[in-house]
Structure formats: C-alpha cells, structure tokens
A and B are shown apart, each in its own frame.
Chain A
Amino acid sequence: MNSPEVEVSDEEIWNSYQKYVGRKAIFIVSSILILILAAGVAGSMGQAKITIWEAYAAFLVKFFPGLFTTSWLAETTVWNLRLPRIALGIVTGIGLGIAGCIMQGILKNPLASPYTLGISAGATFGASLAIIGGAGLVGGEYLIIGNAFIFSLMVSFIIIGFAARRGATPETMVLVGIAILYIFSAGTTLLQYFGEEQAVVQSVFWAVGSLDRASWSKVLISASVIALSIPLLIMKSWDLNLLASGDDSARSLGVNVNRIRIYTMTIISLMVSSIVCFTGTIGFIGLVAPHITRLVIGTDYRYLIPASGIVGAILVVGSDIISRNLIPPIIIPVGVITAFMGGPLFLYLIMKRRMGYF
C-alpha cells in the first residue's frame, strides 16, 4: 500500500481534500433540496386538492405577497392544517438526527440514540402517569406534555449523573441508559395494568410517536429550543472529532473529555425532551439518520451535525407522507412507519456496505 514509487504532489493532496470537503457541502445542499421537495409533497396531500406548486405558492405568499397568487382555500389549508404538521416533522427529524449523531459520538457506540438510552421511555412513563393518574381532571394536555418533558429530562440527568462520577466510561453511560429504559418501561406497563381501560388506550396512543398533535405553538417551542442548541453543539465539533480517536488522545490534544460529554448531553437532553413531549416515541430516526449521513460524508462533526439533522427531517417528513397514504384515509402513526422503514433500511445498510465499525 505504501509504495514510495507513487509520487503525490502537495497540490494533488490539497485538491483531493478540497474535493472531499466539497462533497460534504454538496450533500448538505442536496439534502436541503430533497427536504423542500418532501415538504412540498406533504403540503399537497390531504382532503383538499392542492398541487405541489399551489402548496409552495401558498407558503411563500405570506412572505412575498406581491409575487405569488394563491387561493384562500389553499392558503388556509396549508398554513393552518398542513404546515404545523410538516414543521413539527422537520423539527423532530432535525432534533432526533442531531441528538443521535452526537450521542453515538460521545458514547462511542453506534447503537446510542434517544430511544435506546431510555429518554423516550421516560417521556412515555411521564405521559402515562399523567393520563392514567388523572390528567383528565385538571391541566389536561399540558399536564401530559409537562410530565413527559420532566421525566424524559430526568432520564438524561440520571445518565449525566453517572457520567460525572469518577472513572465513568462511555460504556457506563450506555448501560445506565439501558437499565433506565427497562425500569421506565416496566413502570409504564404497571400503570397500564392498573389503569382504566380508556386511559390505557389513550396512553398507548400517546406512546406511539405521531405528528397528529401538531400545532404552531408546539412547533414554536421545539423549534426555538433546537435553534438555540444547534450552534452550541456545532461549536464543539472539533472536540467531538477528537473524542473519536480515544479519550487519552483527545485529552492530550487539549479536550476536557468529561466536561464535553456532560455539556453535550445536557443540551441534547433539553432538545430531545422538548420534542418527545409533543410527539411521543419516534424511533429509529436518531439511530439511522446519523449512520446514513456518516456513510456519505464521513465523521467530521462540523458537517455531520447539520447533515444528520437534515437527513433526519427528510426521514420524518417522508415517513409521514407514507403514513398518510398507506391506507387512506387512516393515518398510521408516524412512529410505526419510521420503525418499519428504519429497521429494514438499517439491515440493508449493514449488509450492503461495511460501515467500518460494525
């Protein structure tokens, strides 16, 4: 392999490196285009007949009233009914994709994701507690959301608490997460076992991830948390890059390894909790999106973080399109679709291409 006869000039290396970096930028740009297309398709679907172009026009007319014309029907349908759902899908995908990508990095485990570490299980338990334990009486929906938020955050902080102990390794954090997943799942099952039938059904429906509960106010909350988190995470890209080469190497290169784990985990936790408290469990996005992205553009977190988010958004919006068209007019919960699509897709990726770390 290392043949001294092959002369490579600095320029050639420079050029191929630029090409390699350029490919990452191209990937991000084309992903954004695909996402816009997917959002358009999603906007054109539903009871009212609206074409993709009408959907785009109805969207843009709010920003450029002079440039686009649209019907009243299209504008209200798109803005009030369809866009909140699409926007929540995009926000969810971005949040879960980024969370999975960073968790896999800091825990050095390709199976790490908000789901496998029990964060979703915490949210489900919190929501079930509110639903079965009497949220129907007061507070209603907000109590469910609040409870889901608090319990999912609690899971993260237990994991972070273990991480802050002396001598904690990434493996510790993964194992703690899995242990918590089991505890909270058992807790939810126990609640459902003793709960009233109707409440149990409601809690099961809540747990299956879905975009049906979307509204502008919810989108606004999730979106602002994520908008604040992303720059804070991308800022730490270099530290995350260095972590991949081992804790000792990272530390000798100037990274405070433990601090970066706790810092990123805290931000991710807030991000994930602010999503799953509205959507419930949408599995596989946090797991699959980063892997797909890594296959194409490699491990540099400066590109990997935004790209994983966009790929996650494409997956959620795409799954939502499928979930509404499989057996219309029934809308299958998107969490079911992501798992059904994500599982085989993941198997395919493992078989088709050696990922280098499996």
Chain B
Amino acid sequence: MEFGYSSRPILKKISMELRPSEMLGVIGPNGSGKSTLIQCIDGLLKPKNGSILLDGTDIKGISRREMAKKVGYVPQTSSRSFFPSTVLDTVLMGRRPHLGWRSTGTDVKKAIKVLRLMGIEDLAMNDINQLSGGQQQKVLIARALAQEPSVLLLDEPTSNLDIKHQLEVVEIIREMVMERDISAIMAVHDLNLASKYTDRIIMMKEGNIVDQGTPSEVLTPENIRSVYGVVAEVINNNGGKPHIIPVKSLRRHKNSELNSGSSVTPQKRSATVIS
C-alpha cells in the first residue's frame, strides 16, 4: 500500500497484517507516517495504490457506517468537543453506527457499562471539556469501545498523559484485546510501553516499515540507532520483554554532555481552537 498527499509520498510500499486478538504496536519517529498509516487503515485517507482488506473485503467497498461498526478509532488530535457535551453523551455517540434516530435505553445502558469498564462512571454527567487530559483520553477510548468494534485503532493514546494514566490506559486496552477478542493497532512513542504491552511491533521510518516482529526482535540497539538516531541500551526484564534505556542522541553537537535525548519524551502538541 502506498499513500501520498499530492506529489509528496508519505507511506511507501507498506505491507502488513493484523492478526485476530493481537495487539500491534506502531513505533517510529515523528513524521514517520504512523498516524497516516492508522488513518488509512480506518479508511479516513485513501491509499494511492494497493488496498486494505478487512476480513478479506477491500475497505473501499465498505460504507462509512459499516466501517464504523467494525473499526473503532481513537484520534490523536485534541479530544475537545467544540461545544460542551457530557461524558455520557459523548460515549453514546459510539453507539451511533448501530442506531437510528433515537438512542434507546439499551444504548444508554451499554454506554454506562463501558464507562464503568474504564472506571470513569462517576464522571458520566460532567462536561468533557472540563476533564483532565487523561480522563478525556479514557472517554474517547470508551466511545470507541461503545462501537463494539472488532478492530481498535489508537493514535498515540498515551501522549500527554501522566505515567499513571499512561499505564492505566494501555492496560485497559490490553485487557480489552484479551477479553473481548478484538485486535488493536496502537501508534505509540514510548518504546517501553510498546515493548511491555504489545504482541508485535511495526517499526517505521520515513514512510517505510523497517522492521516488524515481536518486541524483542524489533527493539534492538541497532534498530533504535538507525531509526531514531539514538544510542540506547536494551536490557531484558520482567518476562523477557526488552527494556530500553536511552543513552544519548546522535545529534552532532559540540556540547556532548547534553545527552539527555530521551525517547520517552511525549510529543508536544498544541491544540488550536478557532472561535
């Protein structure tokens, strides 16, 4: 599969698969095409060449609504709703592909169940814009789960979350994948989160997949050095999962003592709201 905006190619010759009940991590530096890949898989962007198959059907032939019943997408962009909206109403939107004009009592009950699952049921009637980043992220995941999808796509679900929320969010996704028999693709910056919680990892650089396989196959010092330009040590801990300790960046600067080029720094984004 290939994708590009007008003449500039973003994704080049991507070939990958997602297995049933699998949690797949997508890692790579900023601008390597992780988000684009995820949006292509959801059909939000149309690939130039090639195709994306969902259970053997090309997604070009699937309507947006049918797609929404099968694939849940948690976007990276600010979760701020433009006008105030309650948490429960937001999660109820996930039921939309399944409903007609009215939301039935069953849908409301399902939404409440998902909120409880995420542990945010006490926020049900709060305005989503008043919540913290971590809580908003959980609401969006809850909305995607309310879709009852078989595939969950998450675009950096842990960016701008504190460490507690990072772990909580990824653990919940992991549990969903195991218990509900769904598959998940998660773009993530934190290599250690990817290592700890995913079954397989795809490593991207400049629109190409440079390596894919289990965390210990992909997360090698050589790969990290060539893809991120970072010198890192990889040690094995808890259950054979590799643990990455960034040492220094390969940035050619004179003050080499400034070597705190950490790969776990969450990406900084600013949300612009036109008003």
Contact = CB atoms under 8 A, between A and B. Distances in A.
Contact of A246 (B77, B83, B130): B77
Given A246-B78, A356-B130, 19 more contacts: A1-B132, A1-B135, A2-B122, A3-B122, A10-B109, A10-B113, A13-B115, A17-B124, A170-B274, A238-B101, A244-B81, A244-B82, A249-B73, A249-B75, A252-B72, A252-B73, A252-B75, A253-B143, A356-B84
Nearest to B130: A356
Nearest to B93: A242
Contact of B84 (A105, A248, A251, A299): A299
Contacts of B130: 356
A105 B83 contact: yes
A254 B75 contact: no
A178 to B, nearest CB: 13
A239 to B, nearest CB: 8
Interface residues of A, number: 45
A238 B122 contact: no
A194 interface: no
A177 to B, nearest CB: 14
B154 to A, nearest CB: 12
Nearest to A107: B274
B117 to A, nearest CB: 12
The 9 A-B residue pairs with the shortest CB-CB distance, nearest first, are: A254-B68, A252-B73, A254-B65, A356-B84, A299-B83, A254-B97, A13-B124, A248-B75, A108-B82
Looking at chain B, what size class is its interface with the partner chain? 35 or more
Contact of A13 (B78, B88, B94): B88
B39 to A, nearest CB: 7
A17 B91 CA distance: 13
Given A13-B124, A298-B84, A299-B85, A108 B97 contact: no
B85 A253 contact: no
Given A252-B42, A253-B93, A300-B89, A244 B112 contact: no
B125 interface: yes
9 contacts: A1-B132, A1-B135, A2-B132, A17-B108, A244-B82, A246-B79, A298-B85, A299-B89, A356-B84
B94 A253 contact: yes
Interface of A: 1-4, 6, 8, 10, 13-14, 16-17, 20, 104-105, 108-111, 170-171, 235, 237-238, 241-242, 244-246, 248-249, 251-256, 294, 298-300, 302, 355-358
Contacts of B99: 238
A253 B109 CA distance: 19
A244 to B, nearest CB: 5
B129 A356 contact: yes
Given A3-B122, A17-B88, A302-B101, A10 B83 contact: no
A252 B44 contact: yes
B116 interface: yes
Interface in B99-135: 99, 101, 108-109, 112-113, 115-116, 119-127, 129-132, 135
A245 B132 CA distance: 16
Interface of B: 39, 42, 44, 63-69, 71-73, 75, 77-79, 81-86, 88-90, 93-94, 96-97, 99, 101, 108-109, 112-113, 115-116, 119-127, 129-132, 135, 140, 143, 147, 153, 273-275
A34 B273 CA distance: 36
Contact of A254 (B96, B124, B273): B96
A20 B135 contact: no
Given A237-B101, A248-B77, A254-B97, A357 B83 contact: yes
A256 to B, nearest CB: 6
A105 B109 CA distance: 27
Contact of A16 (B85, B97, B124): B124
Nearest to B68: A254
A356 B115 CA distance: 23
Given A248-B73, A253-B97, A254-B68, A358 B275 contact: yes
Given A242-B96, A254-B96, A109 B44 contact: no
A244 B77 contact: no
Contacts of A16: 124-125
Given A1-B135, A17-B88, A251-B44, A356 B125 contact: no
A20 B131 contact: no
Nearest to A5: B122
B59 to A, nearest CB: 12
Contact of A10 (B42, B67, B112, B129): B112
